[in-house]
Structure 1
Amino acid sequence: MLHALGITHVVSVGECALVPPSNIATDDSSGGYHLVAGRGPGGHGSLWMEEREGRIKVLDIKGVCDDGIDSLQHQLAPICEWMERARSEGGKILVHCRVGVSRSATVTIAYVMKHLAIPLVDAYLIVRSRRLNVLIQPNMRLLYNLCGWEVELARERAEADVGALRCELAHSLNWPYLAREVHRLNEKYLH
């Protein structure tokens, strides 16, 4: 299905995408693999197999749960660089996590912020508008990561110019305001 959509690259956030299917056994000494009889179909459609055979490139971000504790802060820059390289090669990227609401939305928003040089709220609205009827809601820790990412990108664009940095951050929302607004949006669901 990924090939039918033209997907050439996959960012898997916290879902350990590169795990061999149950019907594949690897030979660590030769680096090869073989099918194990009686353990399901031939591994077709396995992201592990597709990546292994060079049909799809995968960036597998391990150890990031959607638990409000795990962070993506230090991974956003390398992820965005990987995505930018993929796009410059003419690739089409699928970003996924288990539900597609928090972790993958965070990565996508971070990329849009960097690629389009726009503030967090604008990037959120662009990503949200592309999801049609699917709500996106990075958990509060990941939203805080995005606030930090916004400052990091502003510093990068402003270089050492304090005036330019102020101008860059003039359209951003501060964390207390953003957290309060998210709480207001979710308040009706907490009763």
Structure 2
Amino acid sequence: MGPHYGATAAACHRPGPGAQFMPGKGPGGHGSLWIEEREGRIKVLDIKGVCDDGIDTLEPQLEPICDWIDKARQEGGQVLVHCRVGVSRSATVTIAYVMKHLGLPLVDAYLIVRSRRLSVLIQPNMRLLYNLCGWEIKLAKERADDDERKLKKELSRTLTWPYLAKEVHALNEKYLH
């Protein structure tokens, strides 16, 4: 069995302007993940400064996070992605990785991740969902490789932001009353 990796998006303290991720730097080295990491049994990617508040963004971090997960998997590692509740930030990271790794549009990746969580709800907050929409366009452009026809085909699989936001609202409406 290969090495174990943990990517955590739970840290919600503000290290300064903008979020950052820090391989292997825990909050004061406390907690079981940090003990395991310090003793060399796991590697940790700590994503700092991203609260589940609808304000913070993961957009600039999605690519380096996905690259880190790819590297971990190439080295034979197993990856655990988690945050405090497991509903929004970790779901966003996992959906982004599935989109990139499998070349899928956002909705398909969401459904795959949701189906693997069994009875646990995943619901990236609207800011993070918007980040995933931008990620979807970025990945489509990469796959199209400057071919306008390919790009049109790639983007035809995506949903518009207003439509996606309306559908999320409809899903959540029963919980608002």
Q: Secondary structure at the match of 1:188?
A: helix
Query: Which amino acid in the other structure matches residue 153 of structure 2?
Result: C
**Residue of 130, 134, 140 corresponding to 1:154:** 140
Mapping of residues 126-145 of structure 1, within 5 Å:
126-145=112-131
- The alignment of Structure 1 onto Structure 2 pairs a total of residues equal to 164
CA distance in 2, matches of 1:127, 1:189: 22
Partner residue, 2:87: 101
Give, in angstroms, the shift of residue 54 of structure 1.
1.3
Contact 2:3 2:41 in 1 (8 A): no
Q: Secondary structure at the match of 2:44?
A: strand
CA distance in 2, matches of 1:181, 1:46: 39
Q: 1:61-80: CA deviations, max 9, x gaps? A: 00000000000000000000
Give, in angstroms, the shift of residue 129 of structure 1.
0.3
Give, in angstroms, the shift of residue 13 of structure 1.
0.6
Give, in angstroms, the shift of residue 15 of structure 1.
2.4
Contact 1:113 1:119 in 2 (8 A): yes
Q: 1:131-154: CA deviations, max 9, x gaps? A: 000000000000000000000000
Contact 1:7 1:94 in 2 (8 A): no
Partner residue, 1:15: 11
TM-score (norm. length: structure 1): 0.82
CA distance in 1, matches of 2:3, 2:57: 27
Q: In structure 2, list runs of 5 or more residues that go unmatched.
A: 13-24
Over aligned residue pairs, what C-alpha RMSD do you find?
Answer: 1.6
Q: In structure 1, list runs of 5 or more residues that go unmatched.
A: 22-44
> Which contiguous aligned blocks of 4+ residues in structure 1 show a shift greater than 4 angstroms?
none
Give, in angstroms, the shift of residue 7 of structure 1.
6.8
TM-score (norm. length: structure 2): 0.88
CA distance in 2, matches of 1:62, 1:140: 19
Q: Secondary structure at the match of 2:57?
A: coil
Query: Which amino acid in the other structure matches residue 118 of structure 1?
Result: L
Q: Secondary structure at the match of 1:179?
A: helix
Q: 1:64-118: CA deviations, max 9, x gaps? A: 0000000000000000000000001110000000000000000000000000001
CA distance in 2, matches of 1:187, 1:7: 43
Partner residue, 2:17: none
How high is the sequence identity, in percent, across the aligned residues?
A: 72
Give, in angstroms, the shift of residue 14 of structure 1.
3.2
